[in-house]
Amino acid sequence: MSGRWSGSPEPVPSIIQLGPHTGQLFDLNHLSSGSHVDIPPGGAERLDVAARLDADADSYGWNNESYAHAWRNSGWKLPQGRYLVRVRVRSVGEVAERVYRLVADVGRTDFRLEAAMPKDAVRD
């Protein structure tokens, strides 16, 4: 799954009225399934990979496609637990990779991504 650079443009919702029902419609045309940003040498950008929403016990993988699934893409549903997340960032001629631990078996305020521990098993 591609992640989502936090600073990437978000679709702007339009409020629509269908009879007695009001809803939001997102224009997803300017979003792609991938997420690309220019980061200058020595620069930094945040990358979103998962989200815990509202009072949900489960979490979801997060990227630009999440907007098309009301923020909850069932294909990326993560039941409560702990997960290893491999982050790979590609640049011209280089690839940087690091493994993190997603702590998703705690309350929403403690939901987090942290450095993987040496004892964590990493599968290719």
CA 61 → CA 5, 8, 40, distances in Å? 13, 16, 27
Asked if 63 and 31 count as a contact pair (C-beta separation under 8 A), the reply is no
User: Can you give the pTM of this predicted structure?
Assistant: 0.76
Q: What is the mean pLDDT of each run of 10 residues along the chain (124 residues)?
A: 81 78 71 68 88 91 85 93 91 86 92 90 65
DSSP 19: T
What is the reported pLDDT for 112? 94
What is the reported pLDDT for 61? 94
